[in-house]
A and B are shown apart, each in its own frame.
Chain A
C-alpha cells in the first residue's frame, strides 16, 4: 500500500498540504480534573542541546536541567500544578519560619530523604550545597553567586534544621531557595571532591541514573526510595523510567514527535512546528501555550556616538510598533506579547494602559513615528545608519531583527543586519564592539531581582551583565530599593518606576517582544503544566502516561 512514486508524491503532498487550512491551537488541557494518575511507562522527550556539565550549580543552560533534574531534589520548588509562582517544599518539611526582622530563616527538613547511594540526607548536606553555591571552593564556579549576596551565613542548627542568616531583608529570598539550579548534593561527596558532581550523579530525586550516551540520550529509572507522595498518598514518581534524546535540528525534532519517537519537548516549538504536528497527529496531540520569562532586548552601545544620546535611543524604540509586530511575528516565531521589563501577564506586569504611555509602547504608531523623527532631527542624526548586531540563531532572533530593521526604515534609519556566530556575537557585545545589538534574557521565575540584574551600572554590579555599558547611580538605587522592599504592592510600584525610567526615559536597553512558549506533545503525557519557563518542575515526579 506504499506509494510507488514516493518522490513525486512527496512534492505533490507538500503542495497539497500548503493549501490545507492551518491548524488552530488546542486549548490547554494538561490533566482533566479528577483524572486518576496511572503508574508505569517510559517518558521519551527531546532536549534540544547537550549538557556541558552535570553540575547544575555551575550551569546556566536548560540543557543541564532538563535531562538531569529527575535525579535531584531542591529545598523548595515550584508547584508542578502551577509552575509559575506557587512555591512548595521539596526536601524541606513545610515553609520556612521567618523572624520578625526578616533576617533569620529557619527551615525544617524531611527525615525520610535518602541519596541514591543509600545515605540519609541531613542538614549538613543542605548546608554544604548552599555553601558551594554561595562561596564556591577553588576550581568551582558559581554563576548565580550574586543572587545570594544578602546571605550572611548558612548553618545546620540541628540534624534536620537549616538556618539562613541574612545581611538585609529581601523580597526575593524564597524564590532564591526554590531555584531549579540548586540541586541538593551530598556533603560527603562534596568534601571528597567539590567537582565530583560535574561528571557524576547522586541525588535524592525521583529517578536514578541509568546511562548517558554522549550526543544521543540520557536515561533514568524510577528511584524506589524516593520520598515523594502525591495527594492521594501514592508513591511518586509515576513513571518507571525516562529517556531524554538530544536533537538539535528543528526539522528532526518535529519528525521525532510526528513519528512518535518522542512525546514532548520542554523548551518550546515554533507555531509552524505546532501546526505541522497538529495536522499530522490530530487528536493524539495536545498543546499548551504561555507567555515566557524570556525576552529580546535591543541594547544600545551607550559608549558610542550617537547612542550616548537618550533622544536617539528613544527615537529608535519609538519607531517599533510592538503591538502589530507581536501579532504578525507570533505567527512565525516564538515571540508574542508586548511587555516592559517584567513578563506580560506575570505577577509584576504593568497594565497595558500604563504601558502604552511609555515611549515605544504607544498604540498610535503614526504619532510615535513623528515623535521619533523629531527626536532624531533634534539630535542632528536624521539619516542615521548603523550596524545591528545579532547572533546566527534563527528562532527567534532572525525574524525579530528583520522586523526591527523594517520598523526603523519608517523613520529614515538604515540598520545593517550584522549576524555573527554566537561566540563572536557574545565577544562583541561584551567588549562593547557594536552599535546596536539584539540581546536576550531568560529566567526561571517572575522576579524583579533576576530580570533587573542586567540594568545595574556596567562598572558596578552590572559588570558583564549590562552590555549597554552605562553607569547610572540613580538606577542602581532604584533597583536596590525594590529588592529590599518586602511589601509586594509597594514593590510593584517601585518596579514600574524603574521600567518608566530605564526603558522609557533613558531607553538604555529596550524589550522588543516577550517570548511565547508553545509545547505541542502527545496527549498521553499527563501532569505537565507549562508555567512560565523551561527550567522549573523538570524532576518529572508528577508526570504520568495515560494508557491508550
Chain B
C-alpha cells in the first residue's frame, strides 16, 4: 500500500492544503502590510463605486448653475465646481468610471494577451512567429496614435476610451505570458498529454493556463492602476471620458486645471483620487507578485 492510497493520509493532505491556503492569506496580511494597504484602497474604491447612489449627497450632474466654484463646506464636503456640481459626489460617481475603465481594459487586454501568449507558445513555429510579429508592431506603436485612431474612428465615450486603453495592454501581457509558456510547454506532462491525443485546446486550458496564471495576474493588477492613469492622460489630450459624465480625468484636466489658482480643490480632489487608486493597485500588485513568485521569498 502506497502512501497515496492511504485515506488518512489523503485526508491529511486535504487538510494541509486548506490550512496552507488559509495560512497563505494570513501570511500575506502579516508579511505584506503594503499589500494590505493597497487592498484597503481598492476595497474602498469598489465600495464607493457600488454604493455611489447611496453615499453621494448629490447627483453627479446636479447643480445650481452659479458660475463660480464654491470652497469646501458642510453642504459640499469637497466644494463645488463652476457648474455648482458637488465635487465629492462627482468623485464617488467618478470611481465608477475609473473602475469600469480600469477593470474592463486590463481584464480584456490581459486576457487577450494571455490567449495569444499561450497559443503562441504552445504551437510555436509559424503561428508563434506571426503572433510575435503582430505583437511587435502593436507594442512599438505610440499610444497617442492608437488612442486618437480608436477614439476618432469609433467616436467618443467611455467604451471607446476603454478600447483605446485595452489595445496597448495586449502585446505586453502576451510577451510575458509567452515566455512563461515556453518553459511550460517543454514540461514532460504536456508532452505526455500530447502523445495520448488530448486535444490542443484542452491542454492549453487545463495545463498551460494554470501555469502561466501568476504572471497574468501580476500584469493584470499592474495595468489596473495604469488604466486609471491613462484615462487621465487621454483626458489631458482631450480624448478621455467627456463632460458632463463624471470621471477623474476630465475633472482634473478640465475645471481642475482651469481653476488651479482660484479653486485648487477642483484639482486636488480628483488628483488625489487618481494617485490613491494607482497607489492601491500597484502596492497590491507588487505584494501579490512577491507572494506568488517563489524566487523572491525571503530565505
A–B touch (CB < 8 A): the answer is: yes
* Cβ–Cβ < 8 Å partners of A17 in chain B: 261-262, 264
Give A332 to B67 CA distance when docked, in angstroms.
Answer: 7
Check A279/B67 contact, CB under 8 A, given A14-B268, A394-B238, A402-B244.
Answer: no
Known: A14-B268, A17-B264, A424-B152. A332 touches B244 (CB 8 A): no
B16 within 8 A of A: no
B155→A327 contact, CB < 8 A: no
Whether A6 sits at the interface, judged by CB under 8 Å, is no
Give the segment of B34-42, B103-111, B200-208, B252-260 that binds chain A. Answer: B252-260
How far is it, in angstroms, between the C-alpha of A490 and the C-alpha of B271 when the chains are bound? 57
**What bracket does the count of chain A residues touching chain B fall in?**
35 or more
Q: In chain B, what residue has the closest Cβ to A276?
A: B261
Residues of A within 8 A of B67 (CB): 327-332
List residues of A (379-421) whose CB comes within 8 Å of B's CBs.
392-395, 398-399, 401-403, 405-406, 417-421
Contact mask B251-295 → A, CB, 8 Å, 1/0?
Answer: 001110111111111001000000000000000000000000000
CA distance A423 to B152 in the complex (A): 9
- Distance in angstroms from B144 CB to nearest chain A CB is 11
Beyond A17-B261, A18-B265, A424-B152, list 14 extra A-B contacts (CB 8 Å).
Answer: A14-B260, A329-B67, A331-B67, A332-B68, A332-B82, A394-B253, A399-B83, A403-B65, A417-B242, A417-B245, A419-B242, A420-B152, A421-B152, A423-B152
Residues of chain B whose beta carbon lies under 8 Å from any beta carbon of chain A:
65-68, 71, 82-83, 148, 151-152, 155-157, 238-239, 242-245, 253-255, 257-265, 268
**Known interface pairs A19-B71, A22-B262, A421-B148. Does A331 touch B82 (Cβ–Cβ under 8 Å)?**
yes
Docked-complex contact A276 and B262, CB < 8 angstroms: yes
Which residues in window 1-54 of A have CB below 8 A to B?
A: 11, 14-15, 17-19, 22
| A251 interface residue (CB < 8 Å to B) | yes
Of A270, A394, A406, the contact of B65 (CB 8 Å cutoff): A406
Give the docked Cα–Cα distance between A17 and B261 (Å). Answer: 7
Q: Does A473 contact B (CB under 8 A)?
A: no
Instruction: Kindly list chain A residues whose C-beta atoms are within 8 Å of the C-beta of B245.
Output: 417
Contacts of B268 in A (CB 8 A): 11, 14
Bound-state Cα–Cα, A275 to B260, Å: 11
A272, A399, A418, A420 — which one has the most chain B CB atoms within 10 A of its CB?
A: A272
- Chain B residues near A328: list those with CB within 8 A: 65-67
Given the complex, which residues of B lie within 8 Å of A272, measured CB to CB? Answer: 258-262
Q: Please give the distance in Å from B177's CB to the nearest CB on chain A.
A: 34
Whether the pair A418, B156 counts as a contact (CB closer than 8 A) is yes
The answer on a CB contact under 8 Å between B156 and A275 is no
Cα of A324 to Cα of B64 in the assembled complex, Å: 12
- Who on chain B is nearest to A327 by CB? B67
Q: How far is the CB of A360 from chain B (nearest CB, A)?
A: 18
A424 contact set on B, CB distance < 8 A: 152
A518 to B262, CA, bound (A): 17
Q: With the chains together, A359 CA to B207 CA distance in Å?
A: 71
Q: Are A399 and B82 in contact (CB under 8 A)?
A: yes
- The answer, yes or no, to whether A250 is at the interface (CB within 8 Å) is yes
Contact call A15/B258, Cβ cutoff below 8 A: no
- List the 8 closest pairs (A to B, CB-CB), nearest first: A328-B67, A392-B238, A276-B261, A14-B264, A331-B67, A419-B242, A332-B82, A424-B152
Distance of B10 from chain A, by nearest CB (Å): 59
Docked Cα-Cα span, A335 to B82, in Å, equals: 14
Give min CB distance, A364 to chain B, whole Å. 18
On chain B, the residues within 8 Å of A270 by CB distance are 258
Residues of A within 8 A of B259 (CB): 272, 332
Contact present for B265 and A394 (CB under 8 Å): no
